[in-house]
Amino acid sequence: MMYEEKQFSCYLYDQMEDEKEAANPDNPRNFMDSLSPLISVMVSREAGALSYDELSAQFGSHYTDRMIRCGVLRREQQRVYLDTPVFLESDAGVLADHFASAADIIADLIASCKQPLYELAGRINNGFPPERNLYHLLCGWSLDGAMIDRLVREDTISEGRPHPTGLEYLLILYEKNPALEAFSDRLLCSFNRCDRDGCALESFGDADGNRLDCFRYFRLKEQDKLTPAFDRIHEVMKGLSASDLTQAAKALVSGQEADARAVRALEAFGYIRNGKPCVPVFTPEHNVIFYAIEELLEKLLLKPITDVFDSLRDLRITPSLHRVPLKETANECWHILFGSINEALVNRGIVAAPEAYAGEGRYLRCIALG
């Protein structure tokens, strides 16, 4: 079968138990980096043009069946379709037109409430200005957390799909192309959270690089995929667990002593300097402030956001042509929309600008106690 092989970047949203499922061959982390040949074949023809027999002849029936079982493909009689959102270079212009203007309108709505938002954030006495605290509470916790939960309850987006494998996740693929990387890698919509023992070591930013944070470290270590960029940190981390780090962070936040090795690791990850937290710390007493911010945003934004997604079904993009479940496509499109909103808020000076790190992308860290 003649086709032009494209390269794809894969993104996974899941609630899997990392250690338990690390060796499961149906865990997408164990196959998603090798999907480019299959997806290239699928998009080389019109949706539904490829038969099960054609794919099986090229990739083998075992592999083809596995990809159907894992939700990458969908079989309808003898025809095979994509069954997970895939975005191609040809989709970039449609996505940009649809979401750029919507993001500006929504960012303007948020900017119109700058004073009450700053008053709320100003009640958090953690040594950081409202702009920095809002970066985490508004851009991260609200738009990448509470708002997603509300959109799921409204049945606007899906946060996961149970698969016949017993795993639940969403797998998203982007063709490697500068026009699409603006959506997949360069928007402020990537939340990393290392959460143990009522303490979360968080970072929020874009995906334009290999972020050297706690979440990424432990995820890659479980898969034995630590890159050379982590060598210095890995040397410090020898023998330390995620719980060792979070327990040390909790102790330092309360002014107590902590394990010296864990403190060095927290310094290497950028959460601690000179034995004290050097990032915003959020405690349970701040929850009432966050809930007030969340309530303000939902009242202001829910209707405009749902209007944006009501029109999504009319877009002629690859997932729609393959009849991928609309709510799964909407999940990724929400990341495009709220990432674009966050960029607009940074550009307007409403929230703090994330720091840029060579090879890692842009992000800011915080510590959250539960």
Tens digit of each residue's pLDDT, the chain (370 residues) = 777 899 999 999 887 776 678 789 999 999 999 999 999 999 999 999 999 999 999 999 999 999 999 999 999 999 999 999 999 999 999 999 999 889 999 999 999 999 999 999 999 999 999 999 999 999 999 999 999 999 999 999 998 999 999 999 999 999 999 999 999 899 999 999 999 999 999 999 999 999 999 999 998 998 888 999 999 999 999 999 999 999 999 999 999 999 999 999 999 999 999 999 999 999 999 999 999 999 999 999 999 999 999 888 889 999 999 999 999 999 999 999 999 999 999 999 999 999 999 999 999 999 999 9
* pTM beyond cutoff 0.85: yes
Can you give the chain as a three-state secondary structure string?
Answer: CCCCCCCEEEEEEECCCHHHHCCCCCCHHHCHHHCHHHHHHHHCCCCCCCEHHHHHHHHCHHHHHHHHHCCCEEEECCEEEECCCEECHHHHHHHHHHHHHHHHHHHHHHHCCHHHHHHHHCCCCCCCCHHHHHHHHHHHHHHHHHHHHHHHHCCCCCCCEECCCCCEEEEEEEECCHHHHHHHCCCCCEEEEEEECCEEEEEEECCCCCCCCHHHHHHHHHCCCCCHHHHHHHHHHCCCCHHHHHHHHHHHHCCCCCCHHHHHHHHHHCCEECCEECCCEECHHHHHHHHHHHHHHHHHHHHHHHHHHHCHHHCCCHHHHCCCCHHHHHHHHHHHHHHHHHHHHHHCCCCCCCEEECCCEEEEEEEEEC
Domain ranges of the chain: 91-158+190-369
Q: Tens of pLDDT along 45-66?
A: 999 999 999 999 999 999 999 9
